[in-house]
A and B are shown apart, each in its own frame.
Chain A
């Protein structure tokens, strides 16, 4: 791509368009579409990646039936659903609260909003590892701070089956509340001021203004934030893999962790391919809704 290249004068826009787009499309075909087709194929076989020489037999829809009849898979789906609901609810509440407060535009608000945003850009796996240190029952700073506010005695966030799911919700909320805040702040700033001025003339209370103007106007952004977070958290792997690796027992074994176990520990490639396809269809559905929604938000 040197600036001194002189193409033939006759190179039409149409030709240039294809030259520009083709490398991207080819790379995506090779590394996305081809693997996807391969996964679909594998999901109908008994293939095991740790036995490359073994005969591959077609098993029809057996793998799908096994996935859908597996109690362990359903348990991991329930864990994922619980994690999604809890983390997204918390993030929306906290994020919306922070966005409303930041929108008061107190002095230094932009400095503090940047400070709040920092956790969301960090590597979840690396930060997740360090949360293990904060959650240490003996010397962890988290346990110390909690006990500072009240005597809860000794507890092990990551070792207790009742607490471990909340530990991942907490860390996820710490990381991603800033994301929701950022989105909703953009939503708040998109509200035209004349709406509030009109309400002011009608002597509407703060409460009425919130319910009648702020909330309805921000709602598309809230839905968008929920969708984005739902997609991301449904795929969630790195944080949980480091923080709990699915334990204790399997209470924090989210879908991606189960998938890793089946595919790269038990090497049940066919079975895990079927699970991967099911997950992909679910996320693809969610992303279709998201894109439709984006188009509507963009029109505003």
Chain B
């Protein structure tokens, strides 16, 4: 046989090169939108709407300043009569023919996202870990039906769920509260946390606990002192997936919150309304919103497949 053997495990150098070129082309093209968002956040509003689009533009803090402040327009005479600006934030505002009138609501919305994200993640991890352990180790009657039921809750269109939940929250006084959204996100995330954690628990050999129980541990002690430390990576992975879901969620937040508990996703698109076509401010908000997710995605890269298939495919 003269031909060299190339299984796909061992492709020829030339085919590898072609593959690399095509993949890198796709990757670069698909990352242009993200790069463009980051670049827009440090431009002036004029540069952001320049034609042809500028690849390189002078950096500007206007986007971030406008994101965190509210401003009002004043006439040139009024502006000239003012004392000199106290700091660079005020100066940046004045340069736009405006004066500072106060902080924007972005920090509030971002804080709401953090509170609701972490609150619901902690709850769904605690409940999910307990349920997953039970489903993994004990004979629960109708186990497969329960598990399918838990998964099927994720399949409902959010708007369909929002109709009765809106009415329910109205009765309970939970509309536009942090508690309401935390509870709702906990429930939506339970399906993911139970399924993922059950997969991780299944991988921990039963012998570990059995040995501990032979040594005199109760089942609970064995669970806390043997199983939980073993499942730590799985729990952390699951927690990050829950956090990203809650962080990104839009439909419930849009329909069930308004002034008080609104999170960042329904708020960010409205930034544009405050100052006309203020793309840099919106880009700044988007950048601050996306960066944590990008960081966690890179951190999770080995577990992504498992997370997005509810633990069905483990690689």
Contact = CB atoms under 8 A, between A and B. Distances in A.
Interface of A: 1, 3, 5-7, 9, 11, 13-14, 16-21, 23-25, 27-28, 31-32, 34-36, 38-39, 42, 49, 52, 94, 97-98, 101-109, 112-127, 129-131, 133-134, 136, 138-141, 144, 174, 177-179, 182-183, 186, 188-189, 191, 193, 196-197, 200, 203, 214, 221, 224, 228, 231, 234-235, 237-238, 241-242, 255-256, 259-260, 263-264, 269, 272-273, 276-277, 279-280, 283-284, 286-287, 291, 294, 297-298
Contacts, number: 313
A13 B138 contact: yes
Interface of B is mostly: helix
B268 A126 contact: yes
Contacts of A234: 157
B76 interface: no
B44 to A, nearest CB: 13
Given A21-B140, A117-B297, A35 B165 contact: yes
A286 B48 CA distance: 44
B93 interface: no
Given A112-B24, A263-B163, A117 B131 contact: no
Given A38-B167, A200-B5, A259-B159, A24 B131 contact: yes
Nearest to B167: A49
Interface in B9-26: 9, 11, 15-17, 19-20, 22-24, 26
Interface string B223-237: 011000000000000
A23 B168 CA distance: 20
- The 6 nearest A-B residue pairs measured at CB: A276-B160, A35-B164, A123-B248, A125-B250, A17-B138, A20-B134
Given A101-B22, A126-B265, A269 B53 contact: no
Given A24-B150, A123-B247, A125-B250, A31 B184 contact: yes
A16 B218 CA distance: 11
B258 interface: no
A24 B294 contact: no
Nearest to B225: A3
A156 to B, nearest CB: 15
A121 B297 contact: yes
Contact of B283 (A52, A130, A186): A130
B312 A297 contact: yes
B7 A39 contact: no
B26 A27 contact: no
A3 B224 contact: yes
B37 interface: yes
B281 interface: no
A230 to B, nearest CB: 11
Given A16-B220, A264-B255, A279-B157, A126 B20 contact: no
Contacts of A49: 163, 166-167
A118 B31 contact: yes
Contact of B251 (A237, A287, A297): A237
A24 B36 contact: no
B110 interface: no
Contacts of B282: 129-130, 133
Interface in B231-247: 244, 247
A112 B187 contact: no
A39 B160 contact: yes
Interface string B105-140: 000000000000000000000111011011101111
B286 A273 contact: no
Nearest to B13: A106
